[in-house]
Amino acid sequence: MKKTILLTALVLNGLTASFAQSNDEKNIKLFYKKALTEAKCYSWLEYLSNDIGSRLSGSKGAAEAVEYTKRQLETLGLDKVYLQEVMVPHWVRGEKETAFIVDGKVKTAVPICALGGSVATPKTGLTAEIIEVQGIKELNELGADKVKGKIVFYNRPMNPENIETFTSYGACVDQRYAGAKEAAKLGAVGTIVRSMNLRLDDFPHTGAQSYGDLPKEQYIPTAAISTNGAELLSKTLKVNPAVKFYFKQSCETLPDVLSHNVVGELTGSVNPSNIMVVGGHLDSWDLADGSHDDGAGVVQSMEAIRILKNLNYKPKNTIRVVLFMNEENGGKGGAKYEELSKQNNENHIFALESDSGGFSPRGFSIEADDANLKKIQGFKDFFEPYLVHSFTIGHAGSDINHLTSKAIVKAGLKPDSQRYFDYHHAANDKFDAINKRELELGAATMTSLLYLIDQTGIVLPSAN
């Protein structure tokens, strides 16, 4: 009997020991509690989206967002809050675009929107025969004889088979970004691009495009067409290859405008010269509020540093929240941040970006060597109670991509991506598409990784 009691006591003691939480586990639990019960990120985003609205670089909304987020960071009691000047592009859409499929005497309206940086059509619009291709490769195979004088219709859809929807996006976004340039080389008069969207709907999705090194006189107007519009146009062309297309847009590029990155920081208590960045991009496209892209990333980054400050956490390294300007159509904010970092001889050891929407967090996309990847993957047990499980190599973020410190690890928050492209760069990317709890969970997940990296550091390259 005594042996049984002793064995039972040992087992119970063992169970007690195995379930005892480490300080890191307790702190991470506290981060999630704070995010889910006291967060400000949702109310910050509501103001950015509903009171300020779209924030395309150079716009009034972008300027207002700079001032608003700076004021909010100043209320948090950070060690520093300041602005970084950056010159940014100023492209304006003008009046709403119009487009028609012209099949003989029948004109059928379809939803389009100009792509960022596009030139306008003639004031009366542009009408021409249209030729459908599945991408730039097929366009070049056709050659100038079949393309000259026509509107090129890029209709390669995002592949629905990929679970990771960003893989599908990456496989066809080249036709949006470089499609006009390549078509112009062959004498096309305009381009229409199927929206980067997995579902069929009536929302055209804008986005950046580039004419590259083409002379300005060769620029041609380019627009996105909704997925429903693309399906209709493709079916019409199959019945009547001689169908024509009409579209009208009045966009233009104005002189560059002075804008700012917004920066706030907590100074490190042990290694203040080692800098850890957490951020998102403050600008958005002009069709909507940009609540998912990237208002969510902005307020999640602000929330991460708010949680740490609110808990009186004293970071070992300097933690810096950076709200970058002009990610969408130029990347000038990220480039300026890196330029100033080099001038100041700053040493960044870690950078975390949120620019994949405000959906439920699933993990992180990591840019690191094998040693640091394994280190971060070793944190999995801390995150599993919060249903965060994916720690894989991949692109971390466009703005932090500019950072080139000698030894730096980069990570991007990886939310569930299944609905992201329903909203990406479209008129429905509004505040009502945001789920408060999912937004807060993302902020807590970011806070937790910042904390773990700050506590443990990164694996430095071998001196050999």
The token pair at 54 is 């779209």
The residues assigned a catalytic role are: 327
Residues 443, 358: Cα–Cα separation, whole Å = 9
- Do 429 and 54 form a contact (C-beta atoms < 8 A)? no
The token pair at 328 is 């969408």
Residues 70, 164: Cα–Cα separation, whole Å = 35
The token pair at 239 is 């019945």
The closest of 251, 254, 287, 223 to 123, measured between CA atoms, is: 251
The closest of 325, 401, 340, 319 to 365, measured between CA atoms, is: 401
- Do 452 and 315 form a contact (C-beta atoms < 8 A)? no
Residues in the chain: 464
Which SS3 state, helix, strand or coil, does residue 222 take?
Answer: strand
Measured in degrees and rounded to the nearest 5, phi and psi for residue 227 equal -65, -40
Measured in degrees and rounded to the nearest 5, phi and psi for residue 160 equal -75, -10
Which SS3 state, helix, strand or coil, does residue 106 take?
Answer: strand
Residues 387, 365: Cα–Cα separation, whole Å = 16
CA Rg value for the chain: 25
Residues 103, 101: Cα–Cα separation, whole Å = 6
DSSP string, 44-70: HHHIIIIII----TTSHHHHHHHHHHH
Give the DSSP H/E element, type plus range, for residue 208: none
